[in-house]
């Protein structure tokens, strides 16, 4: 009985804080966010014709020439035999290649990406975000410079005036945070969905 009397305050606190922090506070915060920021609280989901096509927070792998291409993703998984395979933009995981700036493998990968980018979009400066993966592997955005470099090729593939595509890019550009943090950028999924809505030439 003496032991129970000594343990009772501690057990009572465990039960109290379990109920408070495990149930009541999460429910209260969830409810408050559903009221204040429902779009963000539900995953920033993007709809097209009432169907969910993705999230504004997670990149997707667009490869067709009629679409803007996203930032590279270095995510990898394993196949049935345990071999490492690329799994770009796999929303079930997140991570980087962890290769340092002096890595020969990273240098070779970047060179390959630069060559592919120039082949697809023509000679000229290659934006860093076009050939380097983000830390998460899920970056949904590209820089304005990257989008403007891709715009002529996308316009040609869609048989649209270049000015129309560049105008869309500029319209959908988000400025750097406070004008100084980060860079002007665009959400690739939202940009490509808006591109699909442009009238054909």
pLDDT one-digit tens code per residue, 147-183? 999 999 999 999 999 999 999 999 999 998 877 788 8
Q: Which of 145, 89, 141 is nearest to 121 (CA)?
A: 145
Does residue 31 surpass a pLDDT of 80? Answer: yes
Answer for the pair 65, 120: CB distance below 8 angstroms, yes or no: yes
Per-residue pLDDT band for 141 (boundaries 50, 70, 90) equals very high
Residue 128 has pLDDT above 90, yes or no: yes
Q: Maximum CA pair distance of the chain? A: 86
Residue 113 pairs with which residues in a beta bridge? none
pLDDT mean across residues, the chain: 90
**In the predicted structure, residue 30 carries a pLDDT above the cut 80:** yes
Backbone torsions φ then ψ of 2, nearest 5 degrees? -65, -40
Q: Quote the pTM value.
A: 0.82
Q: Domain segments of the chain: what residues? A: 2-41, 66-196
Instruction: Say if residue 54's pLDDT is above 70.
Output: yes
- With a pLDDT cut of 70, the percent of the chain lying above it is 98
Q: How far is 114 from 118, CA to CA, in rounded Å? A: 6
Over residues 35-59, mean pLDDT: 87
């Amino acid at each position: 009985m003496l032991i129970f009397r000594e343990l009772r305050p501690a057990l009572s606190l465990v039960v109290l804080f379990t109920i408070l922090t495990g149930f009541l506070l999460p429910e209260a915060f969830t409810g408050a966010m559903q009221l204040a920021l429902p779009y963000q609280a539900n995953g920033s989901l993007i709809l097209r014709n009432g169907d969910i096509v993705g999230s504004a927070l997670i990149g997707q792998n667009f490869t067709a020439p009629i679409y803007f291409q996203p930032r590279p993703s270095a995510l990898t998984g394993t196949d049935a035999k345990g071999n490492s395979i690329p799994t770009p933009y796999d929303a079930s995981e997140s991570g980087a290649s962890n290769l340092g700036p002096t890595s020969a493998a990273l240098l070779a990968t970047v060179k390959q990406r630069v060559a592919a980018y120039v082949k697809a979009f023509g000679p000229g400066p290659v934006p860093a975000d076009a050939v380097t993966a983000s830390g998460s592997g899920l970056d949904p955005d590209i820089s304005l410079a990257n989008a403007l470099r891709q715009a002529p090729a996308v316009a040609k593939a869609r048989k649209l005036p270049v000015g129309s595509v560049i105008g869309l890019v500029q319209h959908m550009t988000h400025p750097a945070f406070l004008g100084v943090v980060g860079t002007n950028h665009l959400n690739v999924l939202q940009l490509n969905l808006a591109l699909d809505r442009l009238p054909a030439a």
